[in-house]
Structure 1
Amino acid sequence: MMGRNNSVASRLIADFPNISIIKCICHSVAIVASEACKKLPRTPEHLASGIYSFLSRSSKRQCEFIECQMQSETEILKMLHPSQTRWLSLAVVVERIVQQWEPLKIFFTKHWVELHTKGSELIYAAFNEPTTKLYFLFLKFLTSPDLGLRIDLAQSQRCRDTSNGP
């Protein structure tokens, strides 16, 4: 589409030499952020998936997590599942984990230290590793609206592209 040889952009430039071709900023930013995230350890991504999986498979665990939220006076919200296809969806998941950090830490400490629940050991260890929270805070910053990485911008761009027709 935007390549140098035999692309839509190169053909437009050949036909209209004074044309300005502007690439999709959402796509460019997504590529840059995706590449930057590859340099991070996979811990945040695995932790986000592990938290969701551990909680979603048991209504008893979900109730216990709500108790931890009430105990830490945190807003009662469900944990979200990260999408495998779009890194921008991770922004909402990261925001939720940072927001729910204390009740999550209480919950997984209880499940590992007191109950030795299978599957909670790695999550417990991650919550007690100081760099884990730093990675989540960095990801939250990276995907914050202040940097222009807005999910709704990407979605509205996609809507405009499809509504303009072929």
Structure 2
Amino acid sequence: MLNPVLDHTWIASHIPHQGSMCLLDCVEAWDEQRIQCRAISHRAADNPLRTDGRLGAACGIEYAAQAMAVHGALLAPPDSSRAQVGYLVSVRGTQLHVPRLDDIGADLRVEATCITRGENNILYQFSVSAAGRLLLDGRAAVVLDAAALTLLSSGNTP
């Protein structure tokens, strides 16, 4: 894996998530197949995903989805100004190993590994851990051009 540490400012300038909704603190390592990010926002009292003062473990899926978005930005052709927007269309095989994330004292390690990649879709395996403890994991499917799927399902071609 390549190890250019990319900070929160870089991340926010390359994905659609802005302000406190940009959850990742930095990219620690990445290559063509995999990305590893760190997050500290799970401890923030103003985390926008909190409900009744708690951040449920299922919110870790959004952390993983943002890591996937950053991965897409990193893999975008150098001549493109921004990565192609992706849409999380399904999450499968997800296991929550803890009930919540806001009570985790250590930084989160968010990893996503590309399992398969097609012209319009990507399947990732993801995990969120802290201090060597697995908090949640699963698989997520991302579609890159939702409009093309609509056209194809109606019998038209893009």
TM over 0.5: no
- Which is helix-richer, 1 or 2? 1
Q: TM-score normalized by structure 2?
A: 0.24
TM-score by length of 1: 0.23
Structure with higher strand content: 2
Which protein shows a greater Rg? 1
